[in-house]
Amino acid sequence: MRISIDVEKRLNGSRRSFTLAARFATDEGRVVLFGPSGSGKSLTLRAVAGLLRPDAGRIAVDGKVLFDSREGVNIPVRRRRVGFVFQDYALFPHLTVRQNTAFGLGGMWGRLTREMRKRVDTMLDLFGLTRMADSLPRELSGGQRQRVALARAVAPGPAVLLLDEPFSALDLPLRARLREEVLNLLERLGIPLILVTHDPEEAVRFATVAVPYRKGETGELIDIGIEACDENKTSGWPGHALAADRLVRCTFDTAEA
């Protein structure tokens, strides 16, 4: 699956302005946007999802043009086939787990077809949420809320899944465990993803290529596969640790060069 992004967006605030100039293209199915806070990573996800309209440029996912300023193309959010897991999960507090998941298919549970309801039940089972299907978000743990957000995003069968720092609100032990659980689920589903994270090890576990961000601009793609760690290291570090170390150094060395 090919992801191609070439967009510009200027945001003017009362104290400062910010310009996003994100440009990258890759055939890899697992991409991480990596860099300092405030460098434009989440803005890029919002542009792909259709929640932010760029001033200029083009976005295409899997051969489908989602946005093209020259051609006047701006596909509505509902028709983009993009799943989005927000940093705060953005669950509806008054809806149950089942109803929140159903919302990903376009509406309230009572309005869904029999086939759609079966799809919701499949997602609940896949993400281990069946027993809490009638619970409200306030009755769930952080990890459970995260799984509801993932189930809702995956339910429609998106062409690409956008993850905006999905583990940042979890404590370290839970974060490590859920990270592996989610990774295994996504590998089973085979859904391409774009991940925003500040955690280099998380980036290495989820993605095979990184897009470095710095002050709104993107650098050259970085291959962060473990096989790319060609430095002569004899420290005995695990392969993922070596790749994470390389990612950090490549990202900031590239940005500052």
CATH code where residue 247 lies: 3.40.50.300
Domain-embedded: residue 72: yes
> How many angstroms separate the CA atoms of 81 and 216, rounded?
26
Domain-embedded: residue 35: yes
Domain-embedded: residue 114: no
Report, as an integer, the average pLDDT of 28-57.
94
End-to-end CA gap in the chain:
31
Q: How confident is the model at residue 171 (pLDDT cuts 50, 70, 90)?
A: confident
Tally the domains of the chain.
Answer: 1
Round the average pLDDT of the chain to a whole number and report it.
Answer: 85
Closest Cα to residue 22, out of 183, 189, 196? 196
Q: Which residues contact 195 (CB under 8 A, 6 or more apart)?
A: 30, 31, 32, 33, 163, 166, 202, 203, 206, 207
Helix (H, G, I), strand (E, B) or coil at 199: coil
Domain-embedded: residue 22: yes
Report, as an integer, the average pLDDT of 3-29.
93
Q: How confident is the model at residue 54 (pLDDT cuts 50, 70, 90)?
A: very high
Instruction: Tell me which H or E stretch contains 67.
Output: strand 64-68
Report whether pLDDT(255) > 80.
Answer: no
Report whether pLDDT(225) > 80.
Answer: no
Distances from the Cα of 117 to the Cα of 153, 171, 204, angstroms: 15, 33, 35
Domain-embedded: residue 45: yes
Global confidence as pTM: 0.85
Report, as an integer, the average pLDDT of 165-175.
79
CB count within 10 Å of CB 124 equals 22
Domain-embedded: residue 119: no
Domain housing 28 = 1-81+199-257
Q: How confident is the model at residue 254 (pLDDT cuts 50, 70, 90)?
A: very low
> How many angstroms separate the CA atoms of 138 and 33, rounded?
31
